Amino acid sequence: MHEELRLDNQICFRLYTAARLVTQAYTPILTKLGITYPQYLVLMVLWEKDNQLVNDIAHRLLLETNTVTPLLQRMEKLGIVSRKQGEKDKRQQIVSLTPKGKRLEEEAFAQVPTGMNEQLSACPLKFEDYQRLAQELDSMIETLKK
């Protein structure tokens, strides 16, 4: 077997596994809030800046619009966001937080950081390690986006 093809030698497998397990750790916390992890990502984008175009949300999340649209439709059915046509271009949709979506920010702030700290408490990484890891991953993401 070629050493380069061994699973243990693949950074992609470690990234995939870490992402899957971190998302899994979020699940019980977010379930209490009545949302999924992808919905949480959309909410974080809207909590930073409300009333955004679908395209802008998709761009911020590094996703395609056709991936974000069904997600937004489900969120609209839950009463978390609302969508309306753009005034200048009727093909564009503007996504806004509803009062329920705005309330979720406070609920998430009260539950998510504490819950994730508990989930990761056994991990030997320190705050500085997470900051460094985030910077290194940001660099990798920027390189791969090109």
Q: What gap in Å lies between CA 117 and CA 55, rounded to an integer?
A: 32
Q: Which segment of 20-24, 36-40, 52-56, 88-92 scores lowest on mean pLDDT?
A: 88-92
Element (H, E) at 28: helix 11-33
CB 25 within 8 A of CB 123: no
Which residues lie closer than 8 Å to 31 by C-beta, 6 or more apart?
none
pLDDT digits (tens, 9 = 90+) for 57-74: 999 999 999 999 999 999
Specify the pLDDT at position 57.
98
**What is the percentage of the chain residues whose pLDDT exceeds 70?**
99
Specify the pLDDT at position 93.
92
Structure-model confidence comparison of residues 24 and 89, the more confident one? 24
Phi first, then psi: give them for residue 83, nearest 5 degrees: -125, 140
Query: Which domain, by its residues, includes 21?
Result: 3-145
**Domain CATH for 137:** 1.10.10.10
| Total structural domains within the chain | 1
- Mean pLDDT across 104-114: 96
Q: If pLDDT is split at 50, 70 and 90, which confidence band does 121 have?
A: confident
Average pLDDT over all residues of the chain: 94
Please give the model's pTM, rounded to 2 decimal places.
0.91
